[in-house]
Amino acid sequence: MGYAANQPEVSTFRPGQYAPSRTAATPWGSGILDVVTTTLITGASSGLGAEMARQFAALGHDLALVARRVDRLDGLQTELLAAHPGRRVEVRALDVTDPVAVRQVVHELNAAMGGLDRVIVNAGLGKGAPIGTGGDAANRETAQTNVLGALAQCESAMEVFRQRGQGHLVVISSVSAMRGMPKAMTTYAASKAFVAHLAEGIRAEVMGEPGLAIDVTTVYPGYIRSEMNDRVVQDTPLMVSTEEGVRAIVVAVEKRAHNALVPPWPWEPIGRALKVLPLQLVRRLG
């Protein structure tokens, strides 16, 4: 299938490639890791985005949080500022399917916060129906959000990073991107393969470019509890809590891994198996 080029790998942190603003102790080890100061998270009103905001705030990041449900963002801002006095948390309403608004909000937040160090392209939609069965509106909505929305976010993030000469672009793909998926997953899985290839292409573009220190991380979550899968995946033993799943995401992001399946167990071996499984077996997963 069309995903063979993007082999999952856990790459190592490359000290010195990027000049972070300061250092902080990490919760998962005794060492000191470099961290960036200002992180923009899209889709921060629920699920993985909101929990990433909580965990990155605990690591000492200033945060720019965007989504359409700004009331949720306001509540999260209040919670984060109460838990971490002294941190800066900016929130903005943003629909990522509006490319003009994406550009405006990303550049405005970059200016307001004195430079964005990291942008996490997380906003996503999981609606879908088998192709050709009348669910084209849901499939199109998912493609518009996950494909064109992600493209707009990457364009704006990379504009900012190119201006600054540095940055860390993180995209949230999915383990489902490893293969074409049947049923309601077809468009969603294809959209997540797009996001992963987009990120790899950007990495190929900037790697080794003189004067640019830009890292690109693609995260492939397995099943992590969130609003998206509340009603879809009910009782799989592979589902982990939002907190546990996001802890694995934060570790991978802080390591600046190129590609990370999260949580690594059992999703790294599942991801490897998915690439070679016969389609008759893959289709049962949809």
Ligand X SMILES: NC(=O)c1ccc[n+]([C@@H]2O[C@H](COP(=O)([O-])OP(=O)(O)OC[C@H]3O[C@@H](n4cnc5c(N)ncnc54)[C@H](OP(=O)(O)O)[C@@H]3O)[C@@H](O)[C@H]2O)c1
Query: Rounded to the nearest whole angstrom, what is the least distance from the CB of residue 79 to ligand X in the complex?
Result: 15
Q: Which residues of 31-40 are buried (b: 16+ CB within 10 A; e: fewer)?
A: eebbbbbbbb
The dihedral sign for the CA sequence 209, 212, 213, 215: negative
Query: Rounded to the nearest whole angstrom, what is the least distance from the CB of residue 115 to ligand X in the complex?
Result: 23
Q: Which of residues 8, 49, 167, 271 is near ligand X by CB under 6 A?
A: 49
Site residue total, ligand X (CB under 6 A)? 31
Residue 122 binding ligand X, by CB under 6 A: yes
Binding pattern for the stretch 53-92 against ligand X, x by CB under 6 A and - elsewhere: --------------xxx-----------------------
Q: Which of residues 8, 124, 180, 263 is near ligand X by CB under 6 A?
A: 124
What span, in angstroms and rounded, lies between the C-alpha atoms of 42 and 50? Answer: 9
Among 18, 188, 220, 223, the one annotated catalytic: 188
The torsion angles phi and psi of 190, rounded to 5 degrees, stand at -65, -40
Binding pattern for the stretch 221-260 against ligand X, x by CB under 6 A and - elsewhere: x-xx-xxxx-------------------------------
Instruction: Rank residues 77 and 166 by Cβ distance to ligand X and give the closer one.
Output: 77
Q: What share of the chain is helix, strand, coil (3-state, %, to 5)?
A: 45, 15, 35
Residue 143 binding ligand X, by CB under 6 A: no
What span, in angstroms and rounded, lies between the C-alpha atoms of 122 and 195? Answer: 10
Edge-to-edge, what's the strand order for the sheet holding 259-262?
89-93, 62-67, 38-42, 118-121, 166-172, 213-221, 259-262
Query: Rounded to the nearest whole angstrom, what is the least distance from the CB of residue 199 to ligand X in the complex?
Result: 13
Query: Rounded to the nearest whole angstrom, what is the least distance from the CB of residue 141 to ligand X in the complex?
Result: 8
Residues 19-48 that bind ligand X (CB under 6 A): 42-48
Residue 198 binding ligand X, by CB under 6 A: no
11: DSSP letter: P
148: DSSP letter: I
Instruction: Rank residues 33 and 63 by Cβ distance to ligand X and give the closer one.
Output: 63
- Clarify whether 18 is annotated catalytic: no
What span, in angstroms and rounded, lies between the C-alpha atoms of 206 and 194? Answer: 18
Q: Which of residues 172, 184, 199, 252 is near ligand X by CB under 6 A?
A: 172
Q: Which residues of 216-226 are buried (b: 16+ CB within 10 A; e: fewer)?
A: bbbbbbbbbbb
Residue 261 binding ligand X, by CB under 6 A: no
What span, in angstroms and rounded, lies between the C-alpha atoms of 240 and 235? Answer: 11
Instruction: Rank residues 166 and 254 by Cβ distance to ligand X and give the closer one.
Output: 254
Name the residues that contact ligand X, by CB under 6 A: 42-49, 67-69, 94-97, 122-126, 145, 149, 172, 174, 221, 223-224, 226-229
Active site residues: 188
